Amino acid sequence: MNKATLLTRIVAALETDMEVLRRAAQTAYEAATAEENIAENKYDTLGLEASYLATGQARRTAEIRQALVTYQQLLLREYDPARGVQVSNLVTLEDEDGGRRRLFLGPEAAGLKVGEGEGLVTVITPRSPLGQLLVGKRVDDEVSLGAQVFYIVEVA
């Protein structure tokens, strides 16, 4: 999968996540404000719990919206060996057993997985422990995360 296709898929995944969360937040808001959920005593907390849920979902929706805007404006840069790994690079790591992982160093949306099987790409950010280790590294460099050792075998 090339980076342009990957970026399109990340944007689509964020749009889907945002819509699902928006609907969930709306449902929780409606539950929080429904007349039948008005507290009758101090132990009746259904409306209060629904309002907390709606607030959390609205906050998460805003985070996803910000990530979506960031990805819509992201300029994909080619890998420059002189600078090493940077945001918008697609990195392939290999562990000591020969297992490979493909990572996209993005500005937001850490943990998002795009694709499947051999084409699976996980989004990480420079703020993550592995992202911090990768920034500035080059092909054939080694990175250690705890007991795990990875070798950078490809960067695009």
Q: What is the pLDDT of residues 97-122, one digit of tens each?
A: 999 999 999 999 999 999 988 899 99
Q: How many angstroms separate the CA atoms of 38 and 27, rounded?
A: 16
The partner residues of 48 in beta bridges, in order of sequence, read none
pLDDT in tens, 67-86: 999 999 999 999 999 999 99
Q: How many angstroms separate the CA atoms of 75 and 7, rounded?
A: 10
Assess contact for 84 and 113: CB atoms under 8 A: no
**What is the mean predicted confidence (pLDDT) over 84-96?**
97
Give the pLDDT band (50/70/90) at residue 50.
Answer: confident
